[in-house]
Structure 1
Amino acid sequence: MHFYPTERVALFIDGANLYATAKSLGFDIDYKRLLGLFRQKGQLVRALYYTALAEEQEYSSIRPLIDWLDYNGFSMVTKPTKEFTDATGRRKIKGNMDIELAVDAMRLSDNLDHIVIFSGDGDFRSLVAALQQKGKRVSVVSTLQTQPPMVADELRRQADQFVDLADLEEQVGRSQSGGPAGRSPRQYTARPPLSPARDSNYLGDDDLAEEEV
């Protein structure tokens, strides 16, 4: 990764997409280490984490992660999921945070030099282009190391810098069977309750990223 020490940096984390990407690579994200890594790279202004929450799962396994992130340097952006029935009568759950992430990135960009987007969703290509037109550098964090790749080709080409999450495993990862001694795996790596890997009826950002590549 290439960062200038004087750059004002912000992280925009698509929670469901990052979870799916790390899971496909066989490790969990240690969010304390992730924050520490980017604090070393530049002047970290903000780290925002986006996730949808099912109202009936308000106190589910995602709550410890949200609470920990909220008290440890991350800004949480959440909204309730929406449930509907499709034409075949199947129950579907939708929890897309693309609009919230894009609006925040544009709104905060005047006070930033470098925007880092943790998502492979091709829908963000237009956002990246708009930020670049404002003179901002944009990095995208996802992976090419899966079949199919988790990052849309048009997003990877548009970004000023593509960072493969697989290359960051030693710096921000924790194996799914455990982790470094002295830390509670549950404290930093609680997983979102909704993603295609866990709910085949979930229509979120993970599905979009996979469909576009």
Structure 2
Amino acid sequence: MTPNPGERTALFIDGANLYSAARALNADLDFRKLLELYRGDGVLVRAYYYTAVVEGEEFSPLKPLVDWLDYNGFSVVTKPVKRFTDAEGRSRTKGNMDIEIAVDMLELAPRLDHAVLFSGDGDFRRLVEAVQAKGVRVTVVSTLKSQPPQIADELRRQADAFVELADLLPDIGRPRTSGGVGLPRDDRS
């Protein structure tokens, strides 16, 4: 779960997926505590947070979180949400960050001992396998304790280690708020 002494670690957080998993557990996360947990005794090379954003909105509930993360040591990777009309004529949005996560993890792999992926998306199984082939240990953080489980079985089996998000909540959770965005109490310290 936490890095070994001297181990070079990077966090890759699929924001939408982690939000869904935390929500399924009726929990909010404290990203400052999460960062501190993974700094531990190891060397935290980078902490990425990936999310799609809606452009042109006056206010987005995601903006305060993205700003806080960017200001407090996370490398925030965003891209605009795409709007489209489905076959039934309904307006839909799409904001998949899988390619960005895959490219960054593969590019950083030669400088890592340990990659921690916060996602349960089964599409990442092949990415985990490719990163492992480069000699990097991969831990996946998600949850089996929700209904339905948020972790794809094939991803969990491919990872070197699986960490149950519910088991991390005593260390990185915080009291549930109505907003649920995960900001620490004092916004920019």
TM-score category (smaller protein): over 0.9
What is the TM-score normalised by the length of structure 1?
Answer: 0.82
Q: In 2 relative to 1, CA 63–90 (structure 1 residues): closer, same or farther, beyond 3 Å? A: same
Deviation at 1:41, TM superposition (A): 4.5
Q: Which amino acid aligns with 2:19?
A: Y
Check conservation: 1:65, 1:187, Cα contact below 8 A. no
Q: In 2 relative to 1, CA 104–28 (structure 1 residues): closer, same or farther, beyond 3 Å? A: same
Q: Which amino acid aligns with 2:123?
A: D
Aligned to 1:61: 61
Aligned to 1:20: 20
Matches of 1:39 and 1:3, distance apart in 2: 7
The within-5 A match list for 1:1-213 is 1=1, 3-57=3-57, 59-177=59-177, 185=185, 187=187
Check conservation: 2:10, 2:115, Cα contact below 8 A. yes
Q: Which amino acid aligns with 1:28?
A: D
1:147-182: per-residue Cα shift (whole Å, max 9, x none)?
A: 21100000000000000000000100012148xxxx
Check conservation: 2:30, 2:184, Cα contact below 8 A. no
Paired positions, count: 184
Aligned to 1:202: none
Aligned to 1:135, what secondary structure does the other structure show?
A: coil
Aligned to 1:140, what secondary structure does the other structure show?
A: strand
Identical amino acids, percent of aligned pairs: 61
Q: In 2 relative to 1, CA 60–172 (structure 1 residues): closer, same or farther, beyond 3 Å? A: same
Matches of 1:19 and 1:186, distance apart in 2: 21
Matches of 2:54 and 2:186, distance apart in 1: 20
Check conservation: 1:81, 1:94, Cα contact below 8 A. yes
Structure 1 gap segments, 5+ residues each: 189-213
Deviation at 1:32, TM superposition (A): 0.5
Q: What is the RMSD computed on CA atoms of the aligned residues?
A: 1.7
Matches of 2:90 and 2:19, distance apart in 1: 25
Matches of 2:186 and 2:59, distance apart in 1: 15
Matches of 2:140 and 2:114, distance apart in 1: 11
Aligned to 2:155, what secondary structure does the other structure show?
A: helix
Deviation at 1:73, TM superposition (A): 0.7
1:62-118: per-residue Cα shift (whole Å, max 9, x none)?
A: 111111111101001000010000110000100000000000000111111100000
What is the TM-score normalised by the length of structure 2?
Answer: 0.92
